[in-house]
Chains A and B, each alone.
Chain A
């Protein structure tokens, strides 16, 4: 069964004007997400993961941001060509986003029920539903029950500060899902939570994906989370996608040296690790990025060509793409 592509990012180039110079935040980024698919976007801090998410939903502040080139095709519509007003209509019901910080992503002066009401009203308005037979109140409670919030009736009239981080994160997910978006961008939604809550939320999201049939771009720096939830993984480094593959394949056999490095950072019981193995070096300065492959200064396999010409993201297997001279026939 061929699934339809819901969003297709093509050759996106984004720069930020800063006082120190131009920051090349996204460098020829291309990625496709199909209907009902969960794509994990992995990389170190500053790799451009969140920026890619914000670009898709059209929330990059312009200026200082500026798109040099590229398209974002969402259901046949080029989002780059839409006006602000038209973009507002896509957000929420078309594309929605869950942010990193559950603690600050809810309005502190509105009861959580009231905040979910907004998403439901918006969806009803856009879908032109006048009378669905259910009251908005019932739908709010239902949305909270969907994310397994106990005592939903009571929680709905609480303020965000009265809830724990995990509860707030679930409210955020309930909010995002109650507008039933076609694409959900989840920007590290579990990072600030403790591991048990994180596991519970991930399990919940897996169930919800099946129930609501939403495509998800799941941004994280944690391969463990990716293994839990994603069908496919894209690895980002310094504004480039360096590798893209089905989750199982990339975990079993990473191609790109950077992906290998990232996976080696994870302590492994089978390897009998006593010490952590951090990837040496840090992400390069994006104002003056290194010539050629941006990863070459940190790469054990760096060759002469790596510092001269930037490797392209090429197809190496039916579903795998990698941007490295160690692979493909560019050599």
Chain B
């Protein structure tokens, strides 16, 4: 078994990812944005603020609200902090937060959804009604309520996001499981003596994975967006930590005098979310073995 599983990741598959990406300019743009996003996140997380042009939290009262210049390409804020450094400094926060939330949601969604869909009956009812309760609330309101109940901090925001975010994943996993389990290869697997849990693990989950991952990759952008909104509203990342949403909030009063101050962090959010969405579309084509050959040539 090892042999086949190991071979799976050698060469051909990774190669086809790049082939597909390089053929479609939009997915190439998306892929580049996401790659740069994570690259910066890793570098900054590993090396700390030293790699930034300035210390993102260093107050400089002699140079407040400076216009963009060579020394400060995005200007400085009302406390004289370098905007570029602050925009970059918030990347690792958003990257790790979104990955943690997406991983937890995927895990919960795949496990609960495949179990609900495969077994059906009372198990399905219990899991899906639980999911409905969460889905009945407007997401942002519920997240806001949980986050503010827990108290404003980065970790509490992550918990609040996970508690709200998993529910659509259960629905998708269950929906796809319902169609996958009608396939004859599931019946064939049952006929060859596999137990229910083995069938879920070996046959259901690999087949529901690609729509789940596509949805997740599209969703990372929205998590970053929501995290920014929460921070904007004051229940997320706390000052002085730099975070795009928080920065937009802090700088919004300068929109008409020093427009670049709220625009640059806002632009960072827009570009990042766009990048994830473009990449998500490309991933859908790559992850499905049936369309891979067509797309990848």
Distance to closest chain B CB from A157 (angstroms): 6
Give the interface size class of chain B. 20 to 34
Distance to closest chain A CB from B211 (angstroms): 12
CB of B183 closer than 8 Å to a CB of A: yes
Given A101-B184, A113-B4, A136-B1, A59:B289 Cβ within 8 A: no
The reply to whether B192 and A99 contact each other, CB–CB distance below 8 Å, is no
- Provide the residues of chain A in CB contact with B193, threshold 8 Å: 88-94, 96, 122, 179
The reply to whether B191 and A110 contact each other, CB–CB distance below 8 Å, is no
The reply to whether B192 and A91 contact each other, CB–CB distance below 8 Å, is yes
Given A101-B184, A113-B4, A121-B1, A96:B206 Cβ within 8 A: no
CB of B133 closer than 8 Å to a CB of A: no
The reply to whether B206 and A179 contact each other, CB–CB distance below 8 Å, is no
The reply to whether A99 and B191 contact each other, CB–CB distance below 8 Å, is yes
- A92-112 interface (Cβ within 8 A of B): 92-101, 104-111
> Which residue on A lies nearest to B1, using beta carbons?
A117
CB of B46 closer than 8 Å to a CB of A: no
- Provide the residues of chain B in CB contact with A88, threshold 8 Å: 193-196
Q: Tally chain A residues at the interface, Cβ within 8 Å.
A: 43
Cα A144 to Cα B196 with chains together (Å): 26
The total of interchain contacts (Cβ-Cβ below 8 angstroms) comes to 94
- Provide the residues of chain A in CB contact with B185, threshold 8 Å: 104-108
Distance to closest chain A CB from B245 (angstroms): 38
The reply to whether B191 and A96 contact each other, CB–CB distance below 8 Å, is yes
CB of B3 closer than 8 Å to a CB of A: yes
* Partner of A105 from B3, B7, B184, B195 at Cβ < 8 Å: B184
Contact with B along A164-191 (1 / 0, CB 8 A): 0000000010011001000001000000
CB of B8 closer than 8 Å to a CB of A: yes
Given A99-B184, A157-B7, A114:B1 Cβ within 8 A: yes
- Provide the residues of chain B in CB contact with A91, threshold 8 Å: 190-194
- A135-153 interface (Cβ within 8 A of B): 136-137
- B142-199 interface (Cβ within 8 A of A): 183-185, 187-196
* Partner of A179 from B192, B210, B290 at Cβ < 8 Å: B192
> Which residue on B lies nearest to A89, using beta carbons?
B193
The reply to whether A109 and B206 contact each other, CB–CB distance below 8 Å, is yes
> Which residue on A lies nearest to B3, using beta carbons?
A137
The reply to whether B4 and A59 contact each other, CB–CB distance below 8 Å, is no
Majority secondary structure of chain A interface residues (helix, strand, loop or mixed): mixed
Cα A95 to Cα B206 with chains together (Å): 26
- Provide the residues of chain A in CB contact with B4, threshold 8 Å: 111, 113-114, 117, 137, 156-157
> Which residue on B lies nearest to A162, using beta carbons?
B293
- B2-36 interface (Cβ within 8 A of A): 3-5, 7-8
- Provide the residues of chain B in CB contact with A59, threshold 8 Å: 187, 190-191
- Provide the residues of chain B in CB contact with A172, threshold 8 Å: 188
CB of A44 closer than 8 Å to a CB of B: no
Given A108-B289, A111-B4, A99:B206 Cβ within 8 A: no
CB of A35 closer than 8 Å to a CB of B: no
- Provide the residues of chain B in CB contact with A99, threshold 8 Å: 184, 187-188, 191
Cα A88 to Cα B184 with chains together (Å): 17
Give the one of A104, A107, A156, A161 with max B CB within 10 A: A107
Q: List the 4 shortest-distance A-B pairs measured between CB atoms, nearest first.
A: A92-B193, A91-B193, A97-B191, A104-B184
Interface of A toward B, CB cutoff 8 Å: 57, 59, 85, 88-101, 104-111, 113-114, 117-119, 121-122, 136-137, 156-157, 159, 161, 172, 175-176, 179, 185
Interface of B toward A, CB cutoff 8 Å: 1, 3-5, 7-8, 183-185, 187-196, 202-203, 206-207, 209-210, 289-290
Identify 6 new A-B residue pairs, CB closer than 8 A, beyond the known A59-B187, A108-B289.
A91-B194, A93-B193, A99-B188, A104-B184, A109-B210, A109-B289
